[in-house]
């Protein structure tokens, strides 16, 4: 079975500061990993995904994530936060075999202050 | 805009009632997924259809059912509604089936309020 743990339900940063959102996964088979963002009153939008092609994955809006098998982590980073980055971020995992569903973490709300 | 549409956007109903949520996938996508997002349960996978056939089931209650029609749109039926069913229901779609790297694209959701 697959699962993800997101550390910190809320993360606060100042505009221009580094964003680091943590995600650790558990999977019995090689996983596919995803980060989605949810803006208020909207659906989920894919930021980036890891599908074993490269361990450092670049996504939209300047975000990137690094797959670290030894640490079972897939943390999301952005060098400089913008006010528009304020949203909820979800890490998700899917097994790379069979009819496997996306399993989401509990989400991390990113707050950006001026 | 993901290309996935969901109607209605909001739904307010009473306990014991039945409602139908509708989803139209992106053009060309054959798989449709339903998710429930609530404060206490987070984002939970409910059910997946591929080209009209049920393919995977998650934490879907027996009071809930879904289907995918020949034109690939899907409906989620919720019956004997309880207060705890109040949640945001998302539909997502993707191109392929299992074991693939395809991305699930999410609709804007239907917010269900049960009074």
Chain A partners within 8 Å of B109 (Cβ): 42-43
Greater pLDDT, B41 or B61: B61
- Burial (0-12, 13-18, 19+ Cβ within 10 Å), A113: exposed
pLDDT reading at B40 higher than 60: yes
> Any idea how long chain A is?
114
pLDDT of residue B59: 83
Cβ contact (<8 Å) for A102 and B104? Answer: yes
- The minimum CA-CA distance between A48 and chain B, rounded to whole Å, is 10
pLDDT of residue A52: 79
Question: Taking a C-beta distance cutoff of 8 angstroms, is the pair B51, B58 a contact?
Answer: no
Greater pLDDT, A24 or B97: A24
Question: Taking a C-beta distance cutoff of 8 angstroms, is the pair B58, B74 a contact?
Answer: no
How far lies B10's CA from each of B24, B32, B77, B80, B85, in Å? 16, 20, 15, 18, 14
Cβ contact (<8 Å) for B42 and A36? Answer: no
Q: Mean pLDDT over all residues of chain A?
A: 91
**pLDDT classification of A51: cutoffs 50, 70, 90:** confident
Stretch B7-32: mean pLDDT? 96
Stretch A89-111: mean pLDDT? 86
């Amino acid at each position: 079975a697959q699962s993800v743990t997101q550390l910190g339900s809320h993360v606060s940063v100042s505009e221009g500061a580094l964003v680091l959102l943590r995600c650790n996964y558990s999977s019995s088979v090689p996983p596919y990993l995803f980060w989605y963002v949810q803006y208020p009153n909207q659906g989920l939008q894919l930021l980036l995904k890891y599908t074993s092609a490269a361990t450092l994955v670049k996504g939209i809006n300047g975000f990137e994530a690094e797959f670290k098998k030894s640490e079972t982590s897939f943390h999301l980073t952005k060098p400089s936060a913008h006010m528009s980055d304020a949203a909820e971020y979800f890490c998700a995992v899917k097994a790379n075999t069979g009819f496997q569903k996306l399993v989401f973490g509990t989400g991390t709300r990113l707050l950006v202050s001026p | 805009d993901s290309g996935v549409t969901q109607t209605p956007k909001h739904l307010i109903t009473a306990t014991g009632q039945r409602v139908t949520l509708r989803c139209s996938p992106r053009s060309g996508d054959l798989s449709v997924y339903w998710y429930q997002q609530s404060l206490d349960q987070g984002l939970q996978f409910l059910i997946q259809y591929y080209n009209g056939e049920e393919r995977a089931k998650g934490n879907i209650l027996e009071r809930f059912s879904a289907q995918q029609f020949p034109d690939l749109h899907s409906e989620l039926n919720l019956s004997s509604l309880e207060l705890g069913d109040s949640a945001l229901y998302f539909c997502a779609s993707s191109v392929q089936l299992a074991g693939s790297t395809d991305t699930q694209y999410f609709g804007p959701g239907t917010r269900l309020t049960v009074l």
